[in-house]
A and B are shown apart, each in its own frame.
Chain A
Amino acid sequence: MKSQLPRKIHKWLMLFVGLQVFIWSVTGLYMVMTNIHYTHGEHLQKPSPTLDVSSLKFNHADVLKSYPNADSISLFNRVGEPVFMVQEGRESTLVNATTKELMPKVTEQEAREIALFQFHDSAGVIAKISYLKVSAPSELSARHLPVWEVQFEGIASPTFYISESSGQVVTKRHNPWRIFDWFWRFHIMDYLHGEDVGNVFFLAISITTLLSTLAGCCLVYQRVLSNSFLNSFRKFVNRWAKRRTTHVN
């Protein structure tokens, strides 16, 4: 005799949580189908150009004399010219590797040049550039401020955030990542910040869905595994055994 209880539990609980289960399925499917490195926009930025250390006018030792408390001194190419980035705690300073002069903060024109130099598409066109000093959009951590927000034309709306002090692309975004971020919020049901997996909505709906799913598992057992599937399996085994016996005889 089949109990109707699992069917009732499954039906009535799913009435409350069915929509969220659908949202979990859609958001989960998007996340697993989209390559995480593509989502992170790693293809948007060209690899750094190579350095020529043989013709340096100044080297790390010269810079260290001026900044003895530096935690690190990095030499790299910025828009074709070698620069040193001196890191002291969270502060970063740029030093021109040809003149050893302190480089001023990145201007709008320099931010444009840096963005175009590093953008993967050499035909890329800048749609908008903004200076962000006080507040950061949700896709940018406030610790990176002040930055230049350089938005390129294109359906994916790729955007580089360039530090005003270091001239480095501190992060980048494009629409697939923005969609991922929003889907993540819907997946963990933290619609404001997308950070708290232990929020009360998530826990309540998860527990209800788990109960409903367990009831669904009982239904699967009642209607599939205990009947047709096992019967079919039993028939298959019997047929196979019979054929084997005939073959041996």
Chain B
Amino acid sequence: MLTKRANAVLHKWLATIVSIQLVIWLGTGLYFGLADDPKASGNQFRQKVEHKSEGLQTPTLIAPEKLSSKLTDAKRVSLVWRLDKPYYLAFFQEKPHGYQKQSVKWFDAETGALWVINENYVTELAQQSLKHTEKAKLMENATINLISRGTKDIPSERNTIWAVALNNTDNTTIYISDVSRKVIAHVDDHKRLKNLMFQLHFMDYFNTGGFNNIFSKVFALLTLMLAITGLRWLFIARLKD
């Protein structure tokens, strides 16, 4: 059992170690509670993309049996539409969350050819996802990059993504997944501020996109010890005085 003096010394030294992080946790926690800004979602210029228009003519599809040699070990084969064109999407490794590493192949459902997306598709999709009066002009000056090793804007993403960076005042970047071939996020400076707050709150200094990291584990343990020694000091030692 800790003596009153040892408890006080332990509390003091634990506070020395975790005090700054404690202020960061409280400050960022307050930010999450107070900054209920819809802009922080990054979606102020985002609109839903309809991949299959109403009344679209039924296409002549190639039978997936003809692709069977390319579909060995597939666990799911879906017929889906992207920008009004039908495709077969074959899942070889399917994880519960879209950001986890997936293994898929895409085939043109009318020709059976492997479908690899290019900058034209990415540009068209990004433009359709924009709700802006000058979206054509914004897209003219956009820069497009293929990212295969994660990005600070979407740290949890483990799949290859396309980034369409617009040259607007909020520095909006539109992210398109190479797995789902859909828009997965619009990230602007408001959203980046929120991301920074999450990064500080989770102590995610290696950009993993999660909170199960060594810093948060160690500091959470030390903070619990700080709270216990503090409560002991407050309720057992101090109040008796």
Contact = CB atoms under 8 A, between A and B. Distances in A.
Interface string B60-86: 110111011001111111111100000
Nearest to B67: A53
B137 interface: no
A223 B14 CA distance: 13
Interface string A51-69: 1011010011100110010
Interface residues of A, number: 61
Interface string A218-249: 01100111000100000000000000000000
Interface string B18-57: 0110110111011011101000000000000000100000
Given A22-B224, A74-B76, 17 more contacts: A14-B230, A19-B231, A26-B224, A28-B25, A28-B220, A36-B212, A50-B73, A51-B71, A51-B75, A54-B68, A60-B109, A72-B78, A73-B79, A198-B34, A199-B33, A202-B29, A206-B26
Contact of A74 (B25, B65, B78): B78
Interface residues of B, number: 61
B74 A68 contact: no
Nearest to B15: A220
A191 B150 CA distance: 36
A18 B227 contact: yes
A40 interface: yes
Contacts of A229: 16
B58 interface: yes
Given A50-B74, A53-B74, A210-B26, A60 B79 contact: yes
Given A60-B88, A220-B12, A29 B76 contact: no
